[in-house]
């Protein structure tokens, strides 16, 4: 059985505002966001629909994903970039008939959030 892949996001209070950062031990892709806007964007219903479609439909490209969701390519692509930035998905590059397409794949099983005050 494969070991579950967990994304840990810690939220800290800092001078009267919350800030978000990823625990450095998990990846070399450390990040630090000021404010809660990025987290609110991550937890939207549209992102949940995208993750569900990737998990269950296994689209071969972002374009195919946008069609399955009945949404515009640009908005889905923007959402995919945010999910990739947080480390929930990765884009696998594939060359088909001289064209490059990016297949989204979920790379975590669980998201754990901690709030430190």
Model confidence over 60-115: pLDDT tens digits? Answer: 999 999 999 999 999 999 999 989 988 889 999 999 888 999 999 999 888 887 76
pLDDT the model gives residue 96: 87
* Domain 6-116 listed as CATH 1.10.600.10: no
Share above pLDDT 90 across residues of the chain, in percent, rounded to a whole number: 42
pLDDT tens-place string over residues 18-54: 555 554 444 444 455 545 666 777 778 899 999 999 9
Residue for token pair 């008939």: 97
Other beta carbons less than 10 A from residue 75's beta carbon: 12
With cut-offs at 50, 70 and 90, classify the pLDDT of residue 2: low
For the chain, what are the domain ranges? Answer: 6-116
Q: What is the pTM of this model?
A: 0.74
Q: Which residue has the tokens 């629909």?
A: 49
DSSP at 82: H
CA separation for the pair 42, 73 (Å, rounded): 18
Give the burial class of 108: count Cβ atoms within 10 A of its Cβ; 0-12 exposed, 13-18 middle, 19 or more buried: middle
């Amino acid at each position: 059985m494969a070991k579950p892949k967990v994304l840990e996001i810690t939220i800290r209070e800092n001078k009267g505002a919350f800030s978000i950062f990823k625990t450095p031990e998990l990846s070399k892709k450390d990040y630090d966001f000021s404010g809660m806007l990025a987290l609110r964007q991550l937890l939207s219903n549209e992102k949940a629909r995208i993750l569900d479609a990737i998990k269950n439909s296994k689209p071969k490209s972002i374009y195919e994903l946008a069609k399955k969701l009945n949404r515009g390519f640009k908005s889905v692509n923007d959402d995919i970039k945010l999910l990739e930035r947080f480390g929930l998905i990765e884009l696998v590059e594939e060359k088909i008939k001289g064209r490059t397409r990016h297949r989204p794949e979920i790379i975590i099983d669980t998201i754990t959030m901690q709030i430190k005050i």
